[in-house]
A = this chain, B = another copy of it.
């Protein structure tokens, strides 16, 4: 099969960021393309009854160390942002807005937003910062700002969130290959094997 694979991610998810740096190259090796789906983990957690990783006392110190160590293992620039986690409506909406015109270009914008947050410690929960990132990627700043605030874009993101939850998406990153779901940056090896073999 050669249908696109689906990549769900929250802009405040460190492991989503790590996965985002690898997922397209990995899919391309198997002749596959990737559809990127920004999600809002805050909404998902209300449904799943879960909570952000760093809200568990003993796990928190470990998780911070693991994020940085996993990033170094992949050679990806990473620092835990000074504000973490953040609400991600703005970058998610900006991405949805950009996807309407040009999905591959929107992917580059999403990657730039991720880098702004996790490599440059810029608070992308702020619409103005999002617009700055868009401008640096060649978008018209005012258009980007208007886009992420447009009611139609908010509705579209809401509809996509509902579709994601209906598919069972409960975390970030979350990848679906031919109906098979994989949760976590540490499942990308299985994602690759699934594309290569069609399952086991």
Question: Does B50 contact A56, Cβ atoms closer than 8 Å?
Answer: yes
A73 to B191 Cα, complex, angstroms: 12
Nearest opposing residue in chain B for A47, CB measure: B58
Question: Does B66 contact A183, Cβ atoms closer than 8 Å?
Answer: yes
A62 to B183 Cα, complex, angstroms: 8
Contact among B49, B58, B193 with A57 in the assembled complex (CB-CB below 8 Å):
B49
| A72 at the binding interface (Cβ < 8 Å) | yes
Contact among B181, B183, B193 with A73 in the assembled complex (CB-CB below 8 Å):
B193
Contact among B69, B181, B190, B193 with A190 in the assembled complex (CB-CB below 8 Å):
B69
Q: Select the residue from A59, A187, A200 with max chain B CB neighbours within 10 A.
A: A59
A69 to chain B minimum Cβ distance, whole angstroms, is: 7
| A170 at the binding interface (Cβ < 8 Å) | yes
For A47, list chain B residues within 8 Å (CB).
57-58
Interface residues of A in 150-200 (CB under 8 A from B): 168, 170-171, 181-184, 186-187, 190, 193, 200
Nearest opposing residue in chain B for A183, CB measure: B62
Contact among B50, B57, B62 with A59 in the assembled complex (CB-CB below 8 Å):
B50
Question: Does B183 contact A186, Cβ atoms closer than 8 Å?
Answer: no
| A33 at the binding interface (Cβ < 8 Å) | no
Contact among B72, B168, B186 with A184 in the assembled complex (CB-CB below 8 Å):
B186
Interface residues of A in 107-153 (CB under 8 A from B): none
| A83 at the binding interface (Cβ < 8 Å) | no
Chain A residues engaging chain B, CB cutoff 8 angstroms: 44, 47-50, 56-59, 61-62, 65-66, 69-70, 72-73, 168, 170-171, 181-184, 186-187, 190, 193, 200
